[in-house]
Amino acid sequence: MTYMREGYGYTKSDLEQLIKIINDTDLTKDQIKRTLMGDDLDFNADTVSLRRTALIFDENKLKRIELTW
């Protein structure tokens, strides 16, 4: 039960971040970085990993979102 609750928390966190990204940015890496600034994410690569999803960038624009688990 604890494992399921923790997994749900990770999924909920990713969903909240994705909603913020889609609603509050133009999907460029710089704007997404500013929007998620307090989340300690590495924006130096073309792939930014959240907890259970990854943001894939191409030429500094969000190209797709993939599940990582």
Q: What's the pLDDT score for residue 7?
A: 84
68 close to 52: Cβ distance less than 8 angstroms: yes
What's the domain count of the chain?
1
| Structural domain for 38, as ranges | 2-67
pTM above 0.85, yes or no: no
Q: Which residue type sits at 28?
A: T
> Would you state the pLDDT for residue 16?
94
pLDDT at 62: 96
- pLDDT by residue, tens only, the chain of 69 residues: 888 888 889 999 999 999 999 999 999 999 999 998 877 888 999 999 998 999 999 999 999 999 987
What is the reported pLDDT for 33?
92
| Cβ–Cβ under 8 Å, residues 55 and 65 | yes
